[in-house]
Amino acid sequence: MRQLYTLAVAILFAGTVIAQNNLEFTIDEVIELAKEQSPEGIQAKHSFRASYWQYRSYKAGFLPSLVFSATAPNFSRAMTAVQQGDGTYLYRQDYSNRLSGALNIEQNVPLTGGQFSIGSNLSRTDIFGENGYVQYLSSPLSMTYSQSLFGLNSLKWDKKIEPLRYEEAKKRYLRAVENVAINAIRYFFNLAEAQQRVAIAEFNRTNTDSLYKIAKGRYNIGTIGENDMLQSELNYMNACATLNDATLNLASSKNRLRSFLGFNESVDISIIIPEDAPTLDIDVEKVMELAKENSPDLLGYERQLIEAKRNVASAKSSRGFSADLYLQFGLDQRSGTNESSGTIADAYKKPGDMERIQLGLRIPILDWGRGKGRVKMAQSNEELAKVQVQQAITDFEQDVILQVNQYNMQAEQYRITTKADTIARKRYDVSMQRYLTDKIDITEMNNAQNDRDNARLRSVSALRNYWTYYFTIRQLTLYDLIGKKPLETDYDKLIE
C-alpha cells in the first residue's frame, strides 16, 4: 500500500492533521479505506457480529449448562387442615417460610428434543408458632428426563436452519463490503469528475483570455468584425463563471468523499484518476456458476423453504393429541417431623430411593377448526414460499446475465470514449493552430473546445461505469475476477 494511504490512516486515528496537506488516493486506496473505516463498513462488521453471536447461542444450546435456582423467602400465612385421631379435621392458621436451592447440570438431547439433567437440591421449611418446628428435605442426587412425545423437535430444525443462517451471514458480510466498494467508487468518480471540470475550466479560462486579447488586436486592425470580438469576450466571461461553479462543486465532492471515508474537515484530499482499466472478457456461464455457488440470496431461499416446512410441522404437532413425559430417579431424605425439628446433617443420612413418573396428556375435543386452520395456513404459506423463491431465482439469473452484458458492453464503451478523447484533444490542438493563423473563425474554435471538454468528461463517466459494473459482478459472485480467486476475510478478526 502506498505511503499516502498509510499516512491517511495515521491521521485518522491520531487526530492531528496539517490542513494544507493534500492527501492523494488511488481508487484502490479509497476502496480499502472505505472498507476499514467508513460508517457503512463498520455497520457491516457489527451486523455480522450480531449474526455470529446468534450462531454461538445456537451452538451453546447443544452443550451442558450448570444452573443454580433458589427460592428465598417463600412466606405463607394461611388456614391449614390438621387431621385428628378420630378422623376429623381441625383448621388452624399457620405461619410458615420455605427456603430451597437446587444445582443442576442440564443437557438438551437433539435426537429427541428432550432434556436430561442431573442435580442436587435442599429445602428447609419453618413452621412458626407455639408448636413450631423445622424440616429439611434433601435430594443429594437426582436424574431427570423430560420429553414431549408428539411435539415439535425444535432442536432438530435448528440444526438444519442455523448453520445455513450463519453461512448466509458470512456471505452477506462479503456482499456488504462489496457494496461499500461500489459506493466508494461513486464518491471517488464524483470527485474525479469535479477535478476534471475544474482542470478543464481553468484551462479554458486561460485560453479564452488569450483568445480574447488576440480578438481585440484583430478587431483593432480591422481583420475581424465586432461580433467575433464580442463573442470572444463572452467566451471569457462564461469560462470565469464556469470555473467558479466547478470550484464549488469540487469542494462539495471533497466533503462527501471525506465524510464517507470517516475523515474530519481538516483533511484536504484529492484523487488520482486511473489512466486505464483491465481488459476482461467475462463469460456469462462462468459468472452464473460462481453466483449460484456464492450468493447469500440462494442460501437465504433454501433457509426460507426449510423454515416454511418447520412451520407446517409445528402447526401439525400442536393440532392434535399431545403428551409430555417426565421421569425422575434419585435419592431423597427428610429431617424433622410435624412435632420435632430436624437438622441438615440428618437430611443427608441414609437417603432412600426416589422415583417419579409423570405423563401429561392433552386431547383437543372441540376447537372449532382452529388447529386445522393453522395447518392449512402453514401449508399455504409453504406453497407461497416455493413460488416466491422460484421467481426470485429466475430474477436472480436474469440479473446476472444483464450485469455481465452491461459490463462487457461498458468495457467496449470505455475503449471507444478513450479513443474519442484522444481524437478530440488532437482536433482541438489543430483548431487552435488554425485559429491563430486566422484560417477558422471563433465559432469553429468553440465547437472544437466543447467537443474536447465533452469527450474528456465522457471518458471519466465511462471509466466510472466500468468499475461500477465490475464491482457489481464481484458483489453477485463474491469472486475477484482480476485476481481469479474467491473473496475472503478473517471472520475471527471481525468478532474481536
Annotate 382-433 with DSSP letters as a single string: HHHHHHHHHHHHHHHHHHHHHHHHHHHHHHHHHHHHHHHHHHHHHHHHHHHH
Residue 165 confidence class, pLDDT cut points 50, 70, 90: very high
pLDDT at 33: 93
Most confident of 44-53, 77-86, 130-139: 44-53
| pLDDT tens digits for range 215-255 | 888 888 888 888 888 988 898 999 999 999 999 999 999 99
pLDDT at 19: 42
pLDDT at 338: 67
Residue 11 confidence class, pLDDT cut points 50, 70, 90: very low
* Domain presence at residue 81: yes
Question: Same domain for 341 and 426?
Answer: no
pLDDT at 185: 95
| pLDDT tens digits for range 178-188 | 999 999 999 99
Question: Same domain for 189 and 267?
Answer: yes
pLDDT at 322: 85
335: enclosing H helix or E strand: strand 322-335
> What range defines the domain where residue 292 resides?
3-58+158-303+383-494
Question: Same domain for 474 and 330?
Answer: no
pLDDT at 10: 43
Residue 412 reports pLDDT greater than 80: yes
274-283 LR contacts (CB < 8 Å, sep 24+): 274/26, 274/27, 274/463, 274/467, 277/411, 277/414, 277/463, 277/466, 277/467, 278/482, 279/411, 280/411, 280/470, 280/481, 280/482, 281/408, 282/404, 282/407, 282/408, 282/473, 282/481, 283/404
pLDDT at 300: 95
* Domain presence at residue 312: no
**How does strand 89-109 pair with strand 114-128?**
antiparallel
* Domain presence at residue 378: no
pLDDT at 293: 93
- Picking from 108-117, 291-300, 353-362, which range would have the lowest pLDDT averaged per residue? 353-362
Question: Same domain for 236 and 349?
Answer: no
CA 410 to chain centre: 29
* Domain presence at residue 285: yes
Question: Same domain for 258 and 192?
Answer: yes
**Residue 250 vs residue 92, higher pLDDT:** 250
Sign of CA dihedral 47, 49, 51, 53: negative
**Residue 301 vs residue 207, higher pLDDT:** 301
* Domain presence at residue 451: yes
Are 183 and 34 contacting, i.e. CB atoms less than 8 angstroms apart?
A: yes
* Domain presence at residue 420: yes
Rg (CA), the chain: 39
Q: What are phi and psi of 338, to 5 degrees?
A: -75, -5
Residue 14 confidence class, pLDDT cut points 50, 70, 90: very low
As a whole number, the mean pLDDT across the chain is: 87
* Domain presence at residue 138: yes
pLDDT at 353: 86
CATH code of the domain covering residue 483: 1.20.1600.10
* Domain presence at residue 14: yes
Residue 289 reports pLDDT greater than 80: yes
Question: Same domain for 124 and 170?
Answer: no
Residue 18 reports pLDDT greater than 80: no
**Residue 361: strand pairing partners:** 323
Cell numbers given for 375: 395447518
Q: Is 146 helix (H, G, I), strand (E, B) or coil?
A: strand
The mean pLDDT of 174-179, rounded to a whole number, is 95
Residue 4 reports pLDDT greater than 50: no
Question: Same domain for 277 and 194?
Answer: yes
Most confident of 13-17, 79-83, 184-188: 184-188
**Residue 275 vs residue 141, higher pLDDT:** 141
Question: Same domain for 193 and 293?
Answer: yes
Residue 15 confidence class, pLDDT cut points 50, 70, 90: very low
pLDDT at 20: 45
Q: Where are the alpha helices (DSSP H) in 61-84?
A: none
Residue 397 reports pLDDT greater than 90: yes
Question: Same domain for 148 and 162?
Answer: no
| pLDDT tens digits for range 417-447 | 999 999 999 998 998 888 888 888 888 888 9
Residue 3 reports pLDDT greater than 60: no
> Which residues, other chains included, contact 317 with Cβ-Cβ below 8 Å and sequence gap of 6+?
150, 151, 152
Question: Same domain for 292 and 341?
Answer: no
Indicate the number of domains in the chain.
2
Residue 369 reports pLDDT greater than 80: yes
Question: Same domain for 138 and 238?
Answer: no
Q: What pTM, to 2 d.p., does this model score?
A: 0.82
Question: Same domain for 489 and 446?
Answer: yes
The mean pLDDT of 258-269, rounded to a whole number, is 86
Tell me which of 363, 394, 415 is where a domain ends.
363
pLDDT at 21: 58
Residue 214 confidence class, pLDDT cut points 50, 70, 90: confident
The mean pLDDT of 360-380, rounded to a whole number, is 87
The mean pLDDT of 123-132, rounded to a whole number, is 81
